[in-house]
Amino acid sequence: NAGVTQTPKFQVLKTGQSMTLQCAQDMNHNSMYWYRQDPGMGLRLIYYSASEGTTDKGEVPNGYNVSRLNKREFSLRLESAAPSQTSVYFCASSEWSYPFPFEAFFGQGTRLTVV
Amino acid sequence: KNEVEQSPQNLTAQEGEFITINCSYSVGISALHWLQQHPGGGIVSLFMLSSGKKKHGRLIATINIQEKHSSLHITASHPRDSAVYICAVAGGTSYGKLTFGQGTILTVHP
């Protein structure tokens, strides 16, 4: 049981390059999320998908796009990378169902450096 | 003011000591999560709390909903407990979105 799988684990980009971070979960969860983690800032939400076919902006969406490809997969795209996007990116999933508490599951992270 | 405040930000202990990390939040929540992150590693869920107390091995987590406060305790700490511990909360209508504290960096020396 793999849980949440992210690829790649490490990436170095030049300013202006594009890339897609991949995320897949095998727990049949409805909801998926992309967070970024920066020193002193904690984790912040970039985008989320509450259910298959829907996506919404989080706290820091600028410079990113997402695609909920199917129930399993949720990708994050950087169209034109900037040094400010150097961060650790985490994908997460949950079976959120109002008003009940839910478990959250995280991937191993993608460490991205933009030079 | 952040919605989720953790204290302390840094904590150093000797092996065997009892450790407490605190988390206060300012919004109504459906659940509070304690997470662990080892250096260079992924994020692992330790506890999900909506009330009361949970225990897993040497780890104990408590929550007081009225006071909007939670604590994570580690009994008989060990160097392998060295990690960042993160508190996160989810509102009832949040679509599962989490709001995180800044984390507590714990270092346990042998």
pLDDT at A96: 79
Q: Which chain B residues are closer than 8 Å to A56 by Cβ?
A: 95
Structure confidence at residue A1 (pLDDT): 59
Rounded to whole angstroms, how far apart are CA atoms B22 and B5?
8
> Which of B48, B86, B97 is closest, CB to CB, to A101?
B48
- Interface probe for A, chosen from B65, B98, B99, B102 (most Cβ of A below 10 Å), is B98
Mean pLDDT across the stretch A33-48?
93
Token digits of residue A8: 């790649």
pLDDT at B90: 87
The partner residue sitting opposite A31, judged by closest CB among B44, B50, B95, is B95
Q: Binning pLDDT at 50, 70 and 90, where does residue A97 land?
A: confident
Locus of tokens 């009940």: A100
Flag if A43 and B97 touch (Cβ within 8 Å). Answer: no
Contact B31 A102 (CB under 8 A): yes
B8 preceded by a cis bond (ω within 30 of 0): yes
Contact B42 A101 (CB under 8 A): no
Q: Confidence class of residue A37 from pLDDT cuts 50, 70 and 90?
A: very high
Nearest Cα to Cα of residue B93 among B25, B27, B1 = B27
> Looking at beta carbons, which residues of chain B come within 8 Å of A100?
30
Under 8 Å CB pairs connecting chains A and B tally to 78
Q: How far apart are CA B98 and CA B25, in angstroms?
A: 12
| Residue B57 contacts A, CB cutoff 8 Å | no
Higher pLDDT, A2 or B44: B44
pLDDT of residue A83: 97
- Confidence class for position A41, pLDDT limits 50, 70, 90: confident
- Chain A positions in Cβ-Cβ contact with residue B30 (cut-off 8 Å): 98-102
Query: Which pLDDT score is estimated for A22?
Result: 97
Q: Which of A42, A105, A108 sits opposite B100 (nearest CB)?
A: A42
Find the range with the poorest average confidence among A3-7, A77-81, B91-95: B91-95
Alpha-carbon gap, residue A49 to A93, rounded angstroms: 9
- pLDDT tens string A99-108: 777 889 999 9
Of B30, B88, B101, the CB nearest to A99: B30
Note the pLDDT of residue A89.
98
Query: Per-residue confidence of chain B (110 residues) as pLDDT tens digits?
Result: 568 999 999 999 999 999 999 999 998 888 899 999 998 889 999 999 989 999 999 999 999 999 999 999 999 999 999 999 999 998 766 788 999 999 999 999 99
Query: Is the C-alpha dihedral spanning B43, B76, B52, B56 positive or negative?
Result: positive
